[in-house]
A and B are shown apart, each in its own frame.
Chain A
C-alpha cells in the first residue's frame, strides 16, 4: 500500500508534475463556469466551494503556463508533447465548449457543430497516434466531441429530426 502510494507520488506523470495538474486544472476551470451561466443566484455554499476551487485551478493554470516549454524549444520527434500552445488550446476549447451548453437551440449553428464533431473525432485519433501519445489533447477533443454531439442533438431535436416515426411526416 505504502509502496504503491510512493510510486504514484514519484511517478513522472504524478502530482509533482504538470502532466498531472494540467488535466485537473482544466476540469476545475470548466466546472467553475457552469454555475455562473445561469441567472444570478445567492451565495450558496456549493457555488462558493466550486468558485474557490476554480480560483485555485486558475492559479495552477498560470503556474503551468510559466513552466511549460514553448514550442520552439521542442524537437520534431516530441511534437505531440505538452507545450504552452497545447495547454492553452485545450483549455480554451473545453471551457468555451461547456459555456455554450445553455444556449437556446435556435442559436446553435448546425454547420459549425457538425464540422466540430468530425474535427474532434479526427483529432482524438491524431492525439492517440502522435509520438509521444498526447493524452491531454485526447481528453480535450473527447470532451469537445461530447459537447458538440450534445449540441447537435439539440439542434436536430429542435428541427424535428429526432421525433418517433409517425404516419404524418414532421416537415
Chain B
C-alpha cells in the first residue's frame, strides 16, 4: 500500500525525477538561508535583496492560490519566504530608524 503510493509519487510527471519538483522544493533553501541570517547584525542586511524576497514571495504565494489546480506547495514556500523577508526588513528598519540615535545615524552614514 505504502509502496504503491510511493511509486505514484516517484513516477509523477511533477515528481522528484523532474525539475517541476526540485525547483519549488529548493525555494525553501532561501527561507532557511534568511533564517540563518537572523543571527547576523542588522547593518549587513540588504534592503534591495530583502524587498525582492518579500515581494517575490507575496506575488508567487498569490499565484499558487489562483491557478488551477491550487498549488499548495508553491504557495506555502513563497509565503514562508516573504515572512522571513519581512522579518529581516523589520529588524533593519527598527535598527536604522527606531533604535538609539547614535547607532542609527552611524549605520546610515556607512
Known: A109-B44, A129-B18. 17 other contacts (CB 8 A): A71-B63, A76-B68, A79-B67, A83-B63, A85-B63, A89-B60, A92-B59, A100-B48, A100-B49, A108-B44, A108-B46, A109-B33, A111-B33, A111-B34, A112-B30, A125-B23, A126-B20
Does B66 make an interface contact (CB < 8 A)? yes
Q: Which residues of A contact B51 (CB under 8 A)?
A: 92, 96
Residue A162 interfacial (CB < 8 Å): no
A99 touches B62 (CB 8 A): no
- Could you tell me the distance between the alpha carbons of A105 and B66 in the complex, rounded to whole angstroms? 40
Residues in B whose Cβ lies below 8 Å from that of A27: none
Residue of A nearest to B25 (CB): A122
Q: Are B37 and A89 in touch, CB under 8 angstroms? A: no
A103–B45 CA distance with the chains assembled, in angstroms: 11
Instruction: Say how far B34's CB is from chain A's closest CB, in angstroms.
Output: 7
The reply to whether A92 and B56 contact each other, CB–CB distance below 8 Å, is: yes
Q: How distant is the Cα of A123 from the Cα of B27 in the complex, in angstroms? A: 10
Q: Which chain A positions have C-beta within 8 A of B34?
A: 111-112
Candidates B23, B66, B67; contact of A122 at CB < 8 Å: B23
B residues whose Cβ falls under 8 Å from a Cβ of A: 18-20, 22-23, 26-27, 29-30, 32-34, 36-37, 40, 43-46, 48-49, 51-52, 55-56, 59-60, 62-63, 66-69
Q: Tell whether, in the assembled complex, residue A109 and residue B59 are in contact, meaning their CB atoms are under 8 Å apart.
A: no
Stretch touching chain B among A12-20, A46-54, A113-121: A113-121
Most buried by A among B23, B29, B30, B59: B23
The 8 Å CB contact of B56, one of A89, A118, A125, A126, is A89
Instruction: From A70, A85, A96, A116, give the contact of B48 (CB < 8 A).
Output: A96
Choose one: B23, B30, B63; the contact of A115 (CB below 8 Å).
B30
User: Taking the nearest CB of chain A, how far is it from the CB of B35, in angstroms?
Assistant: 9
Chain B residues with Cβ below 8 Å from A70 are: 66
Inter-chain contact B62/A109, CB cutoff 8 Å: no
CB neighbours (8 Å) of A103 from chain B are 46
